[in-house]
Amino acid sequence: MQKPLILVTNDDGITAPGLRSLIKFMKEIGDVVVVAPDSPQSGMGHAITINDTLYSKKMIVDVEAGAPEEYSCSGTPADCVKLGLQEILDRKPDICISGINHGSNASINVIYSGTMSAAIEAGIEGVPAIGFSLCDYAWEADFSASKEFVQTIVKEALKNGIPKGVVLNVNIPKLEVKKIKGIKICRQARANWKEKFDKRTSPMGKDYYWLTGEFELLDKGEDTDEWALANGYVSVVPTQFDLTAHHVIQELNSWDV
Annotated binding residues, written as ranges, equal: 11-12, 42, 101
In a domain, 202, yes or no: no
In this prediction, residue 62 carries a pLDDT of 75
In a domain, 27, yes or no: yes
- Structural domain count of the chain: 1
DSSP 8-state symbol, 224: B
In a domain, 210, yes or no: no
**Rounded-to-integer distance, Cα 121 and Cα 96, Å:** 10
Q: What residues contact 137, with CB distance under 8 A and at least 6 apart? A: 102, 103
**Rounded-to-integer distance, Cα 152 and Cα 142, Å:** 18
In this prediction, residue 30 carries a pLDDT of 95
In a domain, 138, yes or no: yes
Nearest in space to 42 (alpha carbons), one of 130, 129, 116: 116
Supply the range of the domain harboring residue 85. Answer: 5-189+222-252
In this prediction, residue 68 carries a pLDDT of 79
In this prediction, residue 67 carries a pLDDT of 62
In this prediction, residue 2 carries a pLDDT of 85
In a domain, 122, yes or no: yes
- What pTM does this model have? 0.93
CA of 94: how far to CAs of 26, 128, 202, 241, in Å? 12, 7, 50, 20
In a domain, 211, yes or no: no
Annotated binding residues for a divalent metal cation, written as ranges, equal: 11-12, 42, 101
In a domain, 199, yes or no: no
pLDDT in tens, the chain (257 residues): 689 999 999 999 999 999 999 999 999 999 999 999 999 998 899 999 999 999 999 988 876 555 679 999 999 999 999 999 999 999 999 999 999 999 999 999 999 999 999 999 999 999 999 999 999 999 999 999 999 999 999 999 999 999 999 999 999 999 999 999 999 999 999 999 998 899 999 999 999 999 888 899 999 999 999 999 999 999 999 999 999 999 999 999 999 98
In a domain, 214, yes or no: no
At 43, which CATH number? Answer: 3.40.1210.10
